[in-house]
Amino acid sequence: MIPQPLSAASPAPASDYRAPAWLPGGHLQTIYTSLFIRTPRVFYRRERVELADGDFLDFDWVDADPAAPVVVLLHGLEGSSNSHYARHLMHCVRARGWNGVVAHFRGCSGEDNRLPRAYFAGDSDEIGRILEHVKSRHPGQLRYAVGVSLGGNALLKWLGEQGAAAEGWIASAAAVSAPVDLTAAGQALDRGFNRHVYTARFLATLKAKALRKAQQFPGLLDSAAVAAATTFREFDTLVTARLHGYRDAEDYWRRVSSKPLLRFITLPTLVINARNDPFLPPAALPAANDVSAAVILYQPETGGHVAFPGGPFPGNVDWLSQRLIAHFDMRHG
């Protein structure tokens, strides 16, 4: 049965997702798409923005007609403008004649940030700071925002907190594979196959960054404990919570999860989650009664985590970018 949007709002006019028969299961779809499906090379213009707190943000732009709409992408955990989903979306945005920009969270653009802080899944102030900068560069154009995974949760949290005020920054939004219940996601990632594959891969770079920060700011972190961490619960307690004012991982996960705020979103917002996403159990996904009428929930049975591969072997990732642009086209007219 073809999955349908779960809320009262009308769906974006794009085809429903169907995984290719040659690539079954959430793990294969996630891993193969990330590592083996080729995506276009994109040429970016980098802009560094110096912040009032002494830190910086790097924006990678794809420029078109200055009067055309702008799509800003907020990447996932340890992502960047080089992530497969970023390259493909920015390629498609440019082909559409629109402007695009990948906004890097602190420490994700290839250079460590300067302050004794990092980035995290609930940094609403940073989302506002990013969107304000994009607005300053394109004040008269339609602006759209896409958040992927961690960036998706942060964007949805910001949208729920802002309510109708969000219309001052963007016209429409979308979140892809957002871990809207971080407690459920953290627990899933710290078990079994997930822990040994996805979590181990994320922690390899996260721990390296944290250890460099510990060296830069003596006494800030327990370096030995960070180096020994093997779960997100340990890392988020030792690093993320400590750097950003939370008691421990459980407190952090609970307080930054966007799911309780989805009912307060007023902008047209497409929320895409595959039900076989290894990072978030289907029982933790939002239902129609968890969201406002402005939110479109699209939850196909397959697709993996930020994957949604399609086509004959060796496959492509066309569907996701097409679906996102179709959603924004509803506002563009």
Q: What is the DSSP code string of 193-211?
A: HHIIIIIHHHHHHHHHHHH
Q: Is the dihedral of CA 286, 287, 292, 295 positive or negative?
A: positive
pLDDT of residue 196: 98
Closest CA to 203 of 28, 64, 300, 78: 78
How many whole angstroms separate alpha carbon 95 and alpha carbon 75? 20
Q: Edge to edge, what strands does the sheet with 172-176 contain?
A: 45-50, 56-62, 99-103, 70-74, 143-148, 172-176, 269-272, 295-298
pLDDT of residue 332: 60
What DSSP element (H or E) covers 175? strand 172-176
pLDDT of residue 55: 98
Contacts of 27 (CB under 8 A, 6+ apart): 193, 197, 278, 304
Q: Which is the catalytic residue, given 81, 305, 321, 327?
A: 305
What DSSP element (H or E) covers 258? none
What does DSSP say about strands 70-74 and 143-148: parallel, antiparallel, or unpaired?
A: parallel
**91 assigned to active site:** no
**53 assigned to active site:** no
pLDDT of residue 6: 43
3 state DSSP class of 243 = helix
How many whole angstroms separate alpha carbon 122 and alpha carbon 232? 16
Q: Tokens for 169?
A: 């920054």
**34 assigned to active site:** no
pLDDT of residue 244: 98
Would you call the peptide bond into 314 cis, given omega within 30 degrees of 0 as the criterion? yes
pLDDT of residue 333: 53
**Domain spans of the chain?**
1-180+257-333, 182-256
Amino acid at 299: Q
How many whole angstroms separate alpha carbon 82 and alpha carbon 58? 13
Angstrom CA distances, 322 to 7, 88, 103, 242, 327, stand at 21, 10, 21, 39, 9
What is the residue whose two structure tokens read 């963007």? 170
What is the residue whose two structure tokens read 């830190």? 55
Q: Which is the catalytic residue, given 149, 172, 258, 292?
A: 149
Q: Which is the catalytic residue, given 88, 277, 292, 327?
A: 277
Render each residue's pLDDT in the chain as its tens digit; 333 residues. Answer: 334 444 433 333 457 999 999 999 999 999 999 999 999 999 999 999 999 999 999 999 999 999 999 999 999 999 999 999 999 999 999 999 999 999 999 999 999 999 999 999 999 999 999 999 999 999 999 999 999 999 999 999 999 999 999 999 999 999 999 999 999 999 999 999 999 999 999 999 999 999 999 999 999 999 999 999 999 999 999 999 999 999 999 999 999 999 999 999 999 999 999 999 999 999 999 999 999 999 999 999 999 999 999 999 999 999 999 999 999 998 665
How many whole angstroms separate alpha carbon 245 and alpha carbon 248? 9
pLDDT of residue 330: 84
pLDDT of residue 210: 98
Domain 1-180+257-333 has CATH 3.40.50.11690: no
Closest CA to 257 of 235, 243, 278, 236: 236
